[in-house]
Structure 1
């Protein structure tokens, strides 16, 4: 089986003629199934959580993030999303309905929002380190203000806090903090082991994500090889994903992702339906 469970409609609209491009790309790449995982910043239900957590002061980071929150965010309700997914199915385009939720501090509020909806799977992803959107190239200079030791520690703490909530099925793109080729000159294994242990305790899957191959300078599959080995040794299950934000990128490098994980002994991945897992052969 080949599948892609991590992609977003945010660059387009809830329009069948636009969204069908994801399904066309999936067919061209021989995928058996896809799942949509809209960002939580698509939905006004999560709006206050962003304003609570992000740096929004007069610093260059704060000013950028103020504008980021005003651009193309919070434009559809969760009800809109579920209605559109049903509309797609009625038009013959079947996909699982997921969501990707940011690493908010108030996980109790996240639980209140999520409990009202029947998702097929829920991805939790670290997108902010102490309120800073570290993956935004517009504020890449902020990296110079932190040691990589501090970044690895803070990132790992964010994982531990988020997954301890028990709300999530999958950890999105683990340790994509390498995305701008900020490679530590120290052994990061202790941090990676902490994250793997937290995922094991939470009974979560790993998102093997190819977005960092074609969208960022690092040009590698996430999680990188050291984390992937630890995940395999711990028996953590996986999903495969492209992190596509455009229709034509759906399924990108999924074949390579499957070959990558097979190198660590994986022969199966997880598919979901209404939060229930099914193990399927990869390839």
Structure 2
């Protein structure tokens, strides 16, 4: 069965007129079930955490990130989203309730917020490195100020901390630090192994995510092949996802993601319900 478990309603409102397009696109792609994993920056519950972690000074990245946090973020309480998702389920929509949580430093505070609400699954994603939103094209120039080995070390450390928190089911778009084509000339294998070991210890799943295929210059599915080989060796389970932010992108390149997973020997993927896992055929 086809499942797309990483996408976002956030560019519109929590109403049927907006979200119906996601379900229509899923049906056209032959997708049986979708999962919505709203970004935490949409919810007032997480506002304090962002201002604790994100650089908001008068530097190049600080000025951009201050404006980013003030631009249509923290639109509503998390409870509003949960209520809407429950209404969709009651109406019979084939949907699961997820959330994509940034790599905040105060994981105890994250735990307290998440504990108040029911989820089918929780994605943890590395969106910030030492307070810098490295995936923002508007501040891409910051990449030139850092040694790439330093970036890989920072990324790996953040994954290790995320895994150690014990709060997450899935690592979102692993190693998307390749998104702007800053590619290592060194052997990155030690970092890939550390991430795989942390995920294995935490019993977490990897997100085979096509968003980097159609939304970023790298134009490849995340995680890239070198990590996929190691993930398969460690027998890390998978989900497949489009990372759609618009209805027409729901299911984008999912067939490619399925074939990509199969090329590394995967025959099943995970389906979630109430944080419980079920292995299902990958197609």
Report the equivalent of 2:277.
Answer: 277
Q: Is the 8 A contact 2:244 2:250 kept in 1?
A: yes
How many residue pairs end up in the alignment? 283
How far apart are 1:88 and its partner, in Å?
A: 2.2
Distance 1:81 1:226 in 2: 37
Report the equivalent of 2:99.
Answer: 99
Per-residue deviation, residues 32-60 of structure 1 (Å, max 9, x unmatched): 11000000111111110000001111001
Report the equivalent of 2:174.
Answer: 174
How far apart are 1:78 and its partner, in Å?
A: 1.2
Gaps of 5+ in 1: none
Please give the TM-score of this superposition, normalised by the length of structure 1: 0.99
SS at match of 1:97: strand
Segments ≥4 residues shifted beyond 4 Å: none
Gaps of 5+ in 2: none
Report the equivalent of 1:20.
Answer: 20
Distance 2:93 2:279 in 1: 23
How far apart are 1:90 and its partner, in Å?
A: 3.9
Instruction: Indicate the larger mover: 29-38 or 90-99.
Output: 90-99
Q: Is the 8 A contact 1:20 1:93 kept in 2?
A: no
Per-residue deviation, residues 131-161 of structure 1 (Å, max 9, x unmatched): 0000000000000100100000000000001
SS at match of 1:155: helix
Counterpart mapping for 1:46-125 below 5 A? 46-125=46-125
Distance 2:250 2:219 in 1: 17
Report the equivalent of 1:211.
Answer: 211
Distance 1:89 1:236 in 2: 29
Instruction: Please give the root-mean-square deviation of Cα atoms over the aligned residues, in Å.
Output: 0.7
Please give the TM-score of this superposition, normalised by the length of structure 2: 0.99
Counterpart mapping for 1:169-248 below 5 A? 169-248=169-248
